[in-house]
Homo-oligomer: A and B are copies of this chain.
Amino acid sequence: MGNKNMEIIINPSRSLWTGIVKRPVQDVTGLYKNVQDVLFEIKQNGREALKKYTLQFDGIYMENFEVTEEEFTKAKKQTNPDLKKAINKAAKNIEKFHSAQKTEYNKIETSHGITCWQKAVPIEKVGLYIPGGTAPLFSTVLMLAIPANVAGCRDIVLCTPPDKNGEIHPAILYASMVANVKKIFKIGGIQAIGAMAFGTNPVQKVNKIFGPGNRYVTAAKQLVSMNDVAIDMPAGPSEVMVVADNTAKTEFIAADLLSQAEHGIDSQVILITDSKDIAKKVIKEINIQIENIPRKKIAEESLKSSMIIVMKDIKETRALINEYAPEHLILSTANYHKLADKVINAGSVFLGNYTPESAGDYASGTNHTLPTNGWAKSYSGVNLDSFMKKITFQEISEKGLESIGPTIEIMAEAENLASHKNAVSIRLKDLKANKRRT
């Protein structure tokens, strides 16, 4: 039992933080090269390469990739009514929260006669990737497709790998129906990313690709993002940080840590507490609860690279949270609102004893596609903005140009860009001539 216990670190000095905030390192030797080769083949050979790699990686020869009307109908029948209701309820909350993110843009007169404004427009074509594997991630369908629809994206394409029978889990198809996704292709992994990035028959080219995936999918997304298509964010293994004092319940904390640990062997869970006693109790609780979970082996493995940190100083705790920049942050402390105000680097934050991470994973309404591996220092989680972009507009009146014109002329000249200057000068001259004429 000893070796599955989480490591306890007491009051680590700042010099140790670099080690603490470092995520378990993945070996990516040769990864990018291999992924690039597959992408190149997709670009070259199109649909034939999609077939080849679907056979190779998913173990099934597919002649037709697109999900048919019949498959949708069948999935609707196959999905358990309680699950349908749950999906519908979660969808409503997700829609409500993302709809509330719409913003008004006002026209601003920056100087007399110079009017500037922003307009947010939906990205026309988006591609959503839903991983296959042991868990049918229909919740991620909701998390990506609902904001895409709220944003008003015109074309939404979804790719997800087929199982050995060439089929997709009915709950994924049902969630797609709820979230109004009509174009679904049974294509997974690097093939899916390549197909959406290049526009490989039968998949149309999209402008931005969203969604989680394994290291191959992530590498493929990064590679196509260099020249072909935008991506949501660099994805990595999931992680949670829990901050708890004596107002927290140790059995809840243990359950939250395990819910993250069961994700995958490379998941990371960290508990920060001000009490060694809590640390010990949580370990005890984990050792009890872990015996009853189906994914015990995975959780045990991921707990090996996880840790409990005992921190006496609340300022140091705040600093460590922000230095670690967790994907998920659970605050189970007496003054959680006060602590939340100081959080500047995190993906999604869960407040109080009755707000488990699972709530945000499925149904509270917030998005669960979040920055991992410290990327919360520079990235937002997926939100309405992720599916839109902003165009700026400016309109300058004749008076406005007369007023700002000389400023532009001086600056353009100082940057040695005479034609930039001339574009203003020629207009100012024209205005002067007009005045003489009138």
Contact = CB atoms under 8 A, between A and B. Distances in A.
Interface in A77-119: 80, 82-83, 85-87, 89-90, 92-93, 96-97, 100-101, 103, 106, 108, 110-111, 114, 116, 118
Contact of A259 (B379, B381, B395, B419): B419
Given A344-B124, A412-B362, A351 B393 contact: yes
A361 B183 CA distance: 41
Nearest to A140: B415
A391 B355 contact: no
A422 B134 CA distance: 18
A92 to B, nearest CB: 8
B423 A137 contact: no
Contact of A419 (B227, B295, B363): B295
A394 B299 contact: no
A359 B408 contact: yes
A186 interface: no
Contact of A394 (B225, B263, B364): B364
A388 B427 CA distance: 38
A424 interface: yes
Contacts of A139: 411, 415
Contact of A379 (B230, B379, B408): B230
A423 B255 contact: yes
A387 to B, nearest CB: 10
Contact of A430 (B249, B294, B404): B249
Given A259-B419, A348-B391, A354 B400 contact: yes
A208 interface: yes
A294 B416 contact: yes
Interface stretch (A5-13, A59-67, A370-378): A370-378
A157 interface: no
Contacts of A340: 393
Contacts of A351: 393-395
Interface in A306-335: none
A98 B418 CA distance: 27
B255 A422 contact: yes
A256 B359 contact: no
15 contacts: A83-B411, A86-B406, A86-B407, A86-B408, A97-B116, A100-B106, A111-B365, A208-B378, A255-B426, A294-B418, A348-B391, A348-B394, A357-B420, A358-B421, A361-B420
